[in-house]
Amino acid sequence: MLWYCVEARRRDARALRRACSSVSVAIAVFFLLLCTFVVYLPELQQETSSAASANRGVTLLVWTHPFGQYRKLPDCWARYQIEGCTLTDDPLEYPHVDAVIIHHREIATGAAELPSEPRPRAQKWIWMNYESPSHTPALWRLEGKFNLTLSYRADSDIFLPYGYLEPGITRSPDAHLLVAPSRARLQRPRLVAWVISNWSDSQARVAFFYELQRYVNVDVYGRVGIPLAVGSGSVVRLLSRYQFYLALENSQHTDYITEKLWNAVVAGAVPVVLGASRRNYERFLPPKAFIHVNDFPSVRGLARHLLMLRHDPSRLWHHLDWREGYSTVQPAFWAHHYCSACRAVRRSIGSTQVVHSLEQWFWSDPSLSLSRSRDEEGL
């Protein structure tokens, strides 16, 4: 749904420029406005709010810096044009803030405790987590503690994925304009790369790699392979030399589609993905923008396909020609997240809710419920 509406908005914009009659303009405007309201990207989420709440600023407390790594708090207005937001990491401000954003890892490992109870009246607690359910322990301890969720899942109260597409050029400081390569420069010096930091033989991605390397050469980088160059953007620069990149997630869960995919997209390498279902990936990217390992009955079949594409420019072009006219947005950790949370708190002034089933929700797979309902409709 995400990508389809972005694509529809882009098509409608072109239609508006070509329209010659008032009738065609009216129709194009109607569909453009319709998809503007339907699209579900984090920068476009809209909620009605009272005039009073719209004018009132809020203060958000960052309870712990994620993973114990201090980062300077952003100016939300200067960076994202999000107004009325004050951020602090001073725990002494706890009694006075409108909301507290709490990163799961520090609470789960005991590196930090939850704020003291009872909390100040009307204060909201926000649960923030960007690990998969398989790597998110002790959720049961947090039932009924939080008011809002902030994660990569599309059904979070505050939805901010690892990356997403926008049509055209966007003003976001976290954006990168994509271009389609010329047909004369399609082929790249090297074939397949994989960057991995956390290696475990129990992971499905490691078993996949062992099988794939029987048929094609895979250059492995990271802690268990060739050392990566130091510095921001080093992975993207590396991948710009490769035709394909193995965007293999450490576990397979709903919407858990990380920077591995988006680094490949920015670098212009065709991502080969292992993670959520193809349908799930297609909510974020055009169907031809990636190759899913489940598209093939065997790893050998996938390897043969990659080698075929390497020597067939017209079919390789099919995976890259969609890029023209899009930008990727990869929200900066953690500035974008704090400011998005602050904006959500402003919009929810005067309302409250409690997350009663955090563990059940985070492990759930909405696509299964959707498939089940469709099956029942067909009976």
DSSP 8-class letter at 72: P
DSSP 8-class letter at 139: G
Is the separation of the CB atoms in 200 and 226 below 8 Å? no
pLDDT of residue 258: 98
pLDDT of residue 231: 83
Whose tokens are 């292992």? That residue is 274
pLDDT of 25 strictly over 50 = no
Which pLDDT band holds residue 373 (cuts at 50, 70, 90)?
Answer: very low
Cα(154)–Cα(29) distance, rounded to whole angstroms? 27
**Kind of pairing between the strands at 291-292 and 58-62:** unpaired
pLDDT of 23 strictly over 50 = no
Take residue 278 and report the two structure tokens written for it. Answer: 């193809």
Kindly name the residue from 131, 166, 249, 282 that is annotated as catalytic: 131
Average pLDDT over residues 52-78: 91
**Kind of pairing between the strands at 291-292 and 242-248:** unpaired
Give tens-digit pLDDT for 296-348: 999 999 999 999 999 999 999 999 999 999 999 999 999 999 999 999 999 99
> Is the peptide bond prior to 334 cis by the omega test (within 30 degrees of 0)?
yes
Which pLDDT band holds residue 52 (cuts at 50, 70, 90)?
Answer: low
Give tens-digit pLDDT for 151-170: 999 999 999 999 999 999 88
**Hey, which CATH number is domain 170-329, 3.40.1390.20, 3.10.20.600, 3.40.50.11660, 3.40.50.12240?**
3.40.50.11660
pLDDT of residue 8: 59
pLDDT of 9 strictly over 70 = no
Which pLDDT band holds residue 379 (cuts at 50, 70, 90)?
Answer: very low
Average pLDDT over residues 44-70: 75
If you average pLDDT over every residue of the chain, what do you get? 87
Please say if 376 is a catalytic residue: no
Strands (E), 295-347: 326-329
In the sheet that holds 218-222, the strands lie side by side as 218-222, 190-196, 242-248, 270-274, 291-292
The residue with greater pLDDT, 129 or 54, is 129
Cβ-proximal residues to 188 (8 Å cutoff; 6+ apart), any chain: 240, 241, 242, 243, 269
In the sheet that holds 326-329, the strands lie side by side as 164-167, 326-329, 175-177
pLDDT of 287 strictly over 60 = yes
Helices (H) and strands (E) in the chain, counts: 14, 14
pLDDT of residue 374: 33
Give tens-digit pLDDT for 172-182: 999 999 999 98
214-244 burial, b if ≥16 CB within 10 A, otherwise e?
A: ebbebbbbeeeeeeeeeeeeebbebbeebbb
Give the residue extent of every domain in the chain. 2-39, 58-160+332-366, 170-329
